[in-house]
Amino acid sequence: MTATIENLIGRQAKLDQQRAVRPSHSIWVPASAGAGKTTVLIDRTLALMLAGTPPGRILCLTFTKAAAAEMANRLAERLGRWTAMSDDDLGKDLHRLTGKVPEPDGDAMRRARRLFARVLECHGGMKIQTIHAFCQSLLRRFPLEAGIAPHFEPLDERSAAEQMLAAREVVLERARSGAAPDLAAALAAVTARVAEREFGELMRGLAAERGRLMGLVATLGLDGLVGMVRRCLGVAPGETEGGLLAAGVADQALDLLGLRFCVAALSGGSPGDAARGNALAAWLAAPEPQRMIDFADYCRQFLTDKGAPRKNLITKAAAAKAAGSDLILQEEAERLMTLGERCRAAALADATAALLSLAEAMLAEYRRQKQRRAALDYDDLILMARDLLRRPGVAPWVLF
- Strand partners for 112: none
Tell me: pLDDT of 226 over 50.
yes
The percent of residues in the chain predicted with pLDDT above 90, rounded, is 40
Tell me: pLDDT of 1 over 60.
no
Answer for the pair 22, 52: CB distance below 8 angstroms, yes or no.
no
Q: How confident is the model at residue 5 (pLDDT cuts 50, 70, 90)?
A: low
Candidates 126, 207, 130, 168; CA nearest to 381 is 130
Ordered DSSP codes for 56-75: GG-EEEESSHHHHHHHHHHH
Q: How confident is the model at residue 388 (pLDDT cuts 50, 70, 90)?
A: confident
CA 302 to chain centre: 38
For residues 27, 31, 34 and 36, what is the CA-based torsion angle, rounded to 10 degrees?
Answer: -20
- Strand partners for 60: 128
**Residues, the chain:** 400
Predicted confidence at residue 247, as pLDDT, reads 95
Among 9-23, 172-186, 196-210, the range with the most confident prediction by mean pLDDT is 172-186
- Strand partners for 309: 303
Give the C-alpha separation, 205 to 351, whole Å: 15
DSSP 314: S
386's CB contacts (< 8 A; 6+ apart) are none
Predicted confidence at residue 38, as pLDDT, reads 83
The 10s digit of each residue's pLDDT in 252-285 is 999 999 999 999 999 988 999 999 999 999 999 9
Candidates 258, 255, 263; CA nearest to 279 is 263
SS3 386: helix
Amino acid at 394: V
Answer for the pair 384, 143: CB distance below 8 angstroms, yes or no.
no
Tell me: pLDDT of 100 over 90.
no
Q: Where are the alpha helices (DSSP H) in the chain?
A: 2-21, 37-50, 65-84, 87-98, 107-121, 131-141, 143-146, 157-177, 181-191, 196-208, 210-233, 241-249, 256-267, 271-285, 288-293, 295-300, 316-321, 325-373, 378-390, 395-398
Tell me: pLDDT of 400 over 50.
no
Each residue of 263-296: b (16+ CB within 10 Å) or e? bebbeebeeebeebbebbbebeeeeeeebbeebe
Answer for the pair 125, 119: CB distance below 8 angstroms, yes or no.
yes
Predicted confidence at residue 376, as pLDDT, reads 92
SS3 130: strand
Q: Kindly state the helix (H) or strand (E) to which residue 269 belongs, with its residue range.
A: none
The domain ranges of the chain are 2-125, 154-237+360-377, 243-346
Amino acid at 287: P
The percent of residues in the chain predicted with pLDDT above 70, rounded, is 94
Neighbouring C-alpha atoms within 13 Å toward the C-beta of 178 = 0
Candidates 277, 274, 285, 279; CA nearest to 297 is 279
Mean of pLDDT values over 208-220:
84
Mean of pLDDT values over 85-108:
85
Q: CA 115 → CA 18, 39, 75, 362, distances in Å?
A: 21, 18, 11, 51
Mean of pLDDT values over 122-143:
87
Give the C-alpha separation, 70 to 150, whole Å: 31
SS3 assignment for 199-256: HHHHHHHHHHCHHHHHHHHHHHHHHHHHHHHHHHHCCCCCCCHHHHHHHHHCHHHCCH
Q: How confident is the model at residue 104 (pLDDT cuts 50, 70, 90)?
A: confident
